Amino acid sequence: MALARKPKPSTKKPSANDESAIEALIAKGGSVAEDDPKEKSRAGATPTNVVLRLPPDMLARVDEAVEGRSVRIPRHTWLLEAVLEKLDRAQSI
């Protein structure tokens, strides 16, 4: 492993050209960082909680449908899929 001396800080005074370049850069400024535009375009990017009241017999039917699937999914996911299917059907009419 090669060894080198620690670099010494420059004692050279900045010239007028350096100062003007620095001032020009500062004056130029920049833009403020923004959120990802893709995130803004997504509808409902932030989920909202909704209270859903179901009669016990309807909830039992939902649970049977969830358990009847070949791949186990949460009840919440099943309900989201059902809502989306209903919205798609209503849109196609």
CB distance 52 to 79 below 8 Å: yes
In a domain, residue 20? The reply is no
pLDDT at 10: 77
Work out the mean pLDDT of the chain and round it to a whole number.
Answer: 85
CA dihedral 42, 43, 44, 46 (to 10 degrees): 30
Q: How many domains does the chain have?
A: 1
In a domain, residue 41? The reply is no
Q: Which domain holds residue 79?
A: 53-93
In a domain, residue 10? The reply is no
pLDDT at 49: 92
In a domain, residue 15? The reply is no
Q: Look at residue 93 and tell me whether its pLDDT is greater than 90.
A: no
In a domain, residue 79? The reply is yes
What whole-number percentage of the chain has pLDDT above 70? 83
In a domain, residue 6? The reply is no
In a domain, residue 82? The reply is yes
The Cα–Cα gap between 85 and 89 comes to 6
pLDDT at 63: 96
